[in-house]
Structure 1
Amino acid sequence: MDKARTIAKKQLPDKAQRHKLFGSVEPGPRTKPSKKSQMADLQNTKKDFLFDLDAVGIANVKHPITIASNQEPKTQTTIGTFEFSSSIEKSSKGTNMSRFTEQLQEFYQKGLVIDLKTLKGFTKNLAERLDQKDSEIKVQFPWFYERRGPQSGLSGMNHADITIRVKYDTEAGYTIEVSLSSLVTTLCPCSKEISEYSAHNQRGEVTITVSLAEDFDEESMDWKEWLLDAAESNASARLHPVLKRPDEKMVTEHAYENPRFVEDLARLVAADLYEMSFVNKFHVHCRNEESIHMHDAVASITYDKLQSESQEG
């Protein structure tokens, strides 16, 4: 019969002694006030602090949000990454950082649905709370949408990355900029042209950023759908979460029939955006992760429709 092994138990000092061992000290005398009304408020100091600040605030704030979509799933819960800011004149030392997250919590308790109406109300209220002439909010999140195989009809979830930036100014009003980044398939026209058979393809990323017209009505159309279609419909092929063999045959043949250089893709997306009446200004950036090169191929276009029309007029 094996003898039971005995393990000597180490005798540790108690927890208070361990904390003291690692640097903890007893609380010292408390001489400063503990009531907010009696505390110094350095951020509200008024002096000449040399320069106005374009923006001051907080970033990388993660918070649960709700997204409304015209596509399934029509109500989505996800995590938004927020950035809040306002300008500050040189007569003010700083801003009250806690007010940004206080207001975020207040809106969340009422049901934080991320749409343009809500964000416009948020920025206006925030400027008033901060006692500043402007405020800005930026939020980033993934937007999911159902995608079915073209032949099988089997569905799964795709997603695009969304960014919304809303700025409120007491004099200029609202500025709204939205962005969508989507993955697509591109097939090389040169490879198709020179090869006896086949052609190399790659995964591309299309990032679209647009300034929306002041009269844009989000209740009648979902800008996310329009930007997604501009990115996907001009690529060689769309991406799918579920592809059976008949689906794969259709997708690869469609890509072969629609070859695209990265330059082609940027110009075709720009043409769609140019025709969208609710878009005032746009920036398109396309990146192809080349499959037979070590580098990526990139192309971009920036176009201001209002400025171009005024110059032509």
Structure 2
Amino acid sequence: MNEAVKKQLPTKSERHKLFGSVEPGPKTKPMEKNKMKDLQNTKKDFLFELDAVGVSNVKHPVTLKSQLEPKTQTTVAQFHFASSISQDSKGTNMSRFTEQLHSYYQNGFTLDFATLKSFVFDLQQRLEQKDAELTVSFPWFFERKAPYSEQAGLNHADAWMRVRYHEEFGYDLKVGLTGTITTLCPCSKEISEYSAHNQRGNIEMEVTLQPEFDDTLYDWKHMLLEAAESNASARIHPVLKRPDEKMVTEQAYENPRFVEDMVRLVASDLYEYETVEQFSVKCVNEESIHLHDAIASISYDKREE
């Protein structure tokens, strides 16, 4: 039996050369930062002011507080940072966005408005522009107990926060949440001898909050989730035993909802929140007897009343 012949490979440096690596060339430009030319800080007439310049799709771990269990949780958030750029500025220093994020993270980055307001104010000052903004999106987990057995599990919703600071106009706060619900078709219930089809619906809410909104007093995530779920045919549960399933099924039958009904009912709750200035609501039902979805939406600005 022939013995295997071990392959004789060239050295690692020789392998690199084989695949295109070359020796470093002469270095003539300075390594010291204060001797390097800063193109982004060039001041000239660059034709137009820019609405937004920054970085996006920055993933980073954060801490999240909630009125629902788990009341403190860690999650991975996705950040977007930007500021406007004046006509006489060529660009921005992109590294300052992520440098500041890491600086805040070292001191414990909690997603609350006090932290985000401080962040965008510091960023505006650091960039020497008239404004700065931050948008952060993240999954939020919350405990949900079954209605009869009280068996618990975790549900989740997709949420986001946007904080903008302008040196003249101050702070602008926006939040959003997409919650999942059950809807039962009123038409199906009305025309059928028995039963009715139902489906899973997604409620997308975008809300402008008062600039002085205090999330140590109000959990905006819970507010929006409750606005969606309390108006649905039934809530979504991670764990259901047979008595629970009976209760949820009967509750849905007792509370039929069209997509049109959902957006009007959710809008009514958002309208009654004193801390909400403007809102938009969209419902998308994944129809169980069609290949298409059913949709409805509404927008309202209380500041225009």
Q: With structure 2 as the length reference, what TM-score do the two structures score?
A: 0.98
State the Cα distance separating 1:84 from its structure 2 match. 0.3
Q: Residues of 1 paired with 2:260 and 2:109: CA distance?
A: 39
Q: Does residue 294 of the first structure (1) align with residue 291 of the second (2)?
A: yes
Find 1:35's aligned residue among 29, 32, 36: 32
Find 2:165's aligned residue among 155, 159, 168: 168
What does 1:105-254 align with in structure 2 at a 5 Å threshold? 105-254=102-251
Three-state SS of the structure 2 residue aligned to 1:50 is coil
Unpaired stretches in structure 1, ≥5 consecutive residues? none
Q: Residues of 2 paired with 1:237 and 1:294: CA distance?
A: 22
One-letter identity of the residue aligned with 1:11? Q
State the Cα distance separating 1:214 from its structure 2 match. 2.5
Three-state SS of the structure 1 residue aligned to 2:235 is coil
In structure 2, what is the equivalent of residue 281 of structure 1?
A: 278
Q: Residues of 2 paired with 1:225 and 1:208: CA distance?
A: 12
Three-state SS of the structure 1 residue aligned to 2:119 is helix
Three-state SS of the structure 1 residue aligned to 2:247 is helix
One-letter identity of the residue aligned with 1:201? N
Q: Does residue 272 of the first structure (1) align with residue 264 of the second (2)?
A: no
Three-state SS of the structure 2 residue aligned to 1:126 is helix
One-letter identity of the residue aligned with 2:4? I
State the Cα distance separating 1:216 from its structure 2 match. 2.1
- Identity over aligned residues, as a percent? 65
Find 1:82's aligned residue among 53, 71, 79: 79
One-letter identity of the residue aligned with 2:168? E
In structure 1, what is the equivalent of residue 256 of structure 2?
A: 259
State the Cα distance separating 1:8 from its structure 2 match. 2.2
User: Which digits, 9 at most, give the CA deviation of each residue in 1:231-271, with x for residues without a partner?
Assistant: 00111110001100000000011011111111110111001
Q: Residues of 1 paired with 2:88 and 2:265: CA distance?
A: 49
Q: Residues of 2 paired with 1:171 and 1:281: CA distance?
A: 21
One-letter identity of the residue aligned with 2:35? Q
One-letter identity of the residue aligned with 1:28? G
Three-state SS of the structure 2 residue aligned to 1:157 is strand
Tell which deviates more after alignment, 218-227 or 258-267.
218-227
In structure 2, what is the equivalent of residue 104 of structure 1?
A: 101
One-letter identity of the residue aligned with 1:168? Y
State the Cα distance separating 1:193 from its structure 2 match. 1.1
- Residues 113 and 214, structure 2, Cα contact 8 Å, conserved in 1: no
State the Cα distance separating 1:111 from its structure 2 match. 0.8
User: Which digits, 9 at most, give the CA deviation of each residue in 1:282-309, with x for residues without a partner?
Assistant: 00011001111111111110100111x1
Three-state SS of the structure 2 residue aligned to 1:272 is helix
In structure 2, what is the equivalent of residue 59 of structure 1?
A: 56
Q: Does residue 19 of the first structure (1) align with residue 51 of the second (2)?
A: no
State the number of aligned residues: 305
Three-state SS of the structure 1 residue aligned to 2:96 is helix
Tell which deviates more after alignment, 157-166 or 6-15.
6-15
Unpaired stretches in structure 2, ≥5 consecutive residues? none
One-letter identity of the residue aligned with 1:192? K
User: Which digits, 9 at most, give the CA deviation of each residue in 1:110-135, with x for residues without a partner?
Assistant: 11010011100100000001111100
Q: Residues of 1 paired with 2:303 and 2:33: CA distance?
A: 50
Q: With structure 1 as the length reference, what TM-score do the two structures score?
A: 0.96
In structure 2, what is the equivalent of residue 9 of structure 1?
A: 6
Q: Residues of 1 paired with 2:142 and 2:188: CA distance?
A: 32
